[in-house]
Amino acid sequence: MAARSFRLGLFLLGALVPGACDSRDRLPKLLELQSFLQAGRSNVALNESLVLHFSEPLDRSSIHAESVRITGPDGEAVDGRFEVLPYQLLFHPELPRSPDLEDGGFLPGQDYRVELAGFPRPDGIRSQTQVPLAATLRFSFRTVGREAGESLFLDLFPTDDPPYLLLEESILGPLSPIRIQCGRPLDPTTLEASEFELRAFRTTEENTTLLDRIPLRVRLVENQRDGARIELRPTWGEARGSQALRALDPGTVYLWIDPTRLSLCGLGGAPVKWRPQATVEIEVVGPRVGRLEEDFSSTDLRSPEALFDLDGTAFWDVEAGEVRIRYPRAAGDGREGEVILQGAEPRKDVHAELIRVRDAAQCDLVGEGTVVLRSQGALWIDGNLRRRVETGEHAWQQGESHAAWRLRTRGVQDWSVPSMGPDFEPPRGRPRDLQVLSAWLASVQERDLPWTILIAGGDLFVQGELEVDGPLLLVAGGWVRVPGQVASREAWILREGGGSFDPAASEARLVIDEPSENVLRRPLTFGVLSDRVRPPLGVTRWRGARPTARPGSGAVRLRFLGEKDLFPSGTEVFGPVQELSLLEGCQAVRFRIDLTLPAGSGDPWDPPTVDSLEVSWYEPPRGPLPRTPRSGL
C-alpha cells in the first residue's frame, strides 16, 4: 500500500510541474527489495552471510547503523560488518573465537530481526539515484541450534585442499607468544590445548639432561574469513596458577603437534593439517638490555619546555652534575601574600608569595629610585607593566617611542654598578669571585639608584609587555621566559632564559645566593623535562628507571611520558606514569623530575637533589643464540 501511494505521489508531482512528461517511463524507478535469502529460515549457520538483493544499485552512504538494523534476542546490534555491492547488501557476522561461541556475532539457536529503513524515513536506504526504499521492511530468522544435529557452520571452501597450520616465526623473545596461522577460519569448538606440546631440555643436579614439557595456554585470537591465528603462551601450570605466564629460558625449545590426532577443524568440518614435521624447533633469544645513564653533566638531554603546572623550572646544574632547586635568597619572605598588580603601584619593595599582572591589565610602577618586585613562586606579567623615570634628562616623554628615547639618552650616565658592566673583570687571583646578588641588591637600594628589579623564586613569565625606561634586571631561580616583549634602555638577565628584548639583554655578572633558612610561605615545586629518549635499536619493552636522589627536607618525584609512533606518521603521547614499564608499545620516552620543598618557619634550607638517573629497556632480538647440540627426541 505504501509503495502504491509513493508511485501516486510521484505521478501527481510530475503532473503539477510545468513541462513534466506524462509518460510513466520518465518517473524514477522505485528501490525495492527483491529477495532476502535468510528471511524466515530456522537453520541459519553461525558464519552465514546475510544476502539481500535490490532492484537498483545502492548508495553506499545510505547503509549505516540506523538504516539497517540487525538485532539479537536482547535487542542489541549484532557484531559484524556490511559489504555493499551494486545490487546486493551483505552482512558478515563476527566469527567466534572462544569454544563456548559466546563472542561470535550469531549465537546458536537464537532468533534475530532485520529491519530495513525505507520511505518515509529520511535516513533510510537509497539507490544511487537517491530514490528511497519503498517502505520500511522487517524480517526475522533463527540460527541453527546445537541439538538440531546439523553443522553450526557452513563450509565456505568445499574443495579437496585441506586448511594447513603454519608457524609464523621460529625466533622469539622469552616473553613473545608462539603464533600459528591458518589460511582459513577455524571452528573454536575443536581447539584442544592438549594437542599442542612445548618441550625444552633441562639439566638436573645430577647433570642429567631431561626433556620437560612446558604447560601452554592455547587461544584462538583471530578468526576471520580470510584466515585465523592461534597463540600459544607458556605458563607455570598448576604450580603457580595455570594462567600465570612464564618467560622461556634462552636456547632451543621444541613445538610438538601430533598430526595423527589433531582434532582441529575449519568451519564446515574440514580437518586441519599441520604442514611441517611433527616437531619444529624454536630459538628463544635472550633479552638484550639497553641503558641510558644520565649524570646531568651536560644539557644535551634537557628540554627547554616550560611546565606550567609547577612554580618553576628545576636547575640542571652541569658543574655539580645534578638537578636541584636553585632558589634566590633575594626572592624575599612572601609576607604580602599573593599580589595582583594593577593601576598605579607606589610600593618600592614588594615581598609576595606570587605576583601577577593579569591579562589586559596595566600597572605603572610610580615609586622613585630602586623598585624591587620579589615573588617566592612564579612572577607572571600577562598584561602591561610599565615604569617611567619622571625626572632628569632620562625621562621617557609622553608619546615618545622607545627607539627614539633610547637614541636620545645614548651615552648619558650609566646607572649600573661596575660589576654589572660587560667589561667587568674579577679581581686578580680570584677568577670566580663575582658579586653576590643579595649584596649587590642591598648596595643598589642603599644608593637608591633608579633600577627596576624583578625577582622570581620560580619562573618569571613575560607574556604581555614590560616597559622600563631605566636599567632593568630580571632574576629567576627557574627560567626567565619572555614570549612577550621587554623594552628597556638596558636589560640584564641572570642565568637561564630570555626572549624578545629591545635592545637585547645581557647576562648579569652576578651569582645567585641561596637562603640559609626556609622562609617559604607555601610549598614550592620545581620540575624539569627531558628530551626524547629513543633507543636507536628499538624497544620491545621498557624495563625501569633508577634515580640516585637525596630528598633533603623535601621530596623527589620521577614520572615518564611515552610516545607511540602512529602509521603512517605522527605520535600518540601516553602518561605521565610513575612506572616506566607501563608504557607498552612506546618507542620513545621523556622523563620528568619534580622537586618539592615544603613551607618552613626558620628550618634549615635543605632542598632535594637528583644526582643521576638510569633508564633501561629490552632491545628487540637481533638473531638466534649459538646452537648447542642436543640428543634426539
Q: Which amino acid would we find at residue 254?
A: Y
Convert the pLDDT of each residue in 78-119 to its tens digit. Answer: 999 999 998 999 999 999 999 999 999 999 999 999 999 999
Quote the CA–CA distance of 247 and 200 in Å, as a whole number. 13
Convert the pLDDT of each residue in 319-373 to its tens digit. Answer: 999 999 999 999 999 999 999 999 999 999 999 999 999 999 999 999 988 999 9
Convert the pLDDT of each residue in 525-566 to its tens digit. Answer: 999 999 999 998 889 889 999 999 999 999 999 999 999 988
β-partners of residue 571 are: 565
Phi-psi region of 312 (alpha: psi -120 to 50; beta: other; left: phi over 0): beta
Helix (H) or strand (E) holding 504: none
Q: What is the pLDDT of residue 230?
A: 95
Q: What is the pLDDT of residue 619?
A: 84
Convert the pLDDT of each residue in 179-191 to its tens digit. Answer: 999 989 999 999 9
The lowest-confidence range among 46-50, 174-178, 567-571 is 567-571
Convert the pLDDT of each residue in 277-298 to its tens digit. Answer: 678 889 888 777 888 999 999 9
Q: What is the pLDDT of residue 7?
A: 41
Any idea what DSSP says for residue 143?
B
Rounded percentage of the chain residues whose pLDDT exceeds 70: 83
The lowest-confidence range among 19-28, 34-43, 239-248, 388-397 is 19-28
Number of H helices, E strands in the chain: 3, 45
Q: What is the pLDDT of residue 525?
A: 97
Q: Comparing 31-148 with 164-286, is the CATH topology the same? A: yes
Higher local confidence (pLDDT), 421 or 37: 37
Q: What is the pLDDT of residue 10?
A: 41
**Sign of CA pseudo-dihedral 615, 616, 622, 627:** positive
Contact, 517 vs 552, CB < 8 A?
no
CB atoms within 10 A of CB 39: 15
Contact, 119 vs 9, CB < 8 A?
no
pLDDT bucket at 414, cuts 50 / 70 / 90: very low
Convert the pLDDT of each residue in 193-227 to its tens digit. Answer: 889 999 988 766 666 566 788 899 999 999 998 89
Residue 611 has pLDDT above 70, yes or no: yes
Rounded to 5°, angle at Cα 349 from 346 and 354: 100
The lowest-confidence range among 83-92, 312-321, 379-388, 613-622 is 613-622
pLDDT bucket at 402, cuts 50 / 70 / 90: low
Contact, 226 vs 212, CB < 8 A?
no
CATH topology of domain 31-148: Immunoglobulin-like (2.60.40)
pTM of the model: 0.55
Rg (CA), the chain: 38
Mean pLDDT of 471-486: 94
pLDDT bucket at 430, cuts 50 / 70 / 90: very low
Contact, 198 vs 253, CB < 8 A?
yes
Contacts of 49 (CB under 8 A, 6+ apart): 90, 91, 92, 93
Average pLDDT, the chain: 84
Residue 632 has pLDDT above 50, yes or no: no
Mean pLDDT of 67-71: 95
CB atoms within 10 A of CB 291: 11
Quote the CA–CA distance of 238 and 246 in Å, as a whole number. 12
Boundaries of every domain in the chain: 1-25, 31-148, 164-286, 292-307+523-619, 328-423+431-513
CATH code that applies to domain 164-286: 2.60.40.1220
Convert the pLDDT of each residue in 9-68 to its tens digit. Answer: 443 334 334 444 444 455 567 899 999 999 999 999 999 999 999 999 999 999 998 999
What percent of the chain is helix, strand and coil (3-state, nearest 5)?
A: 10, 40, 50
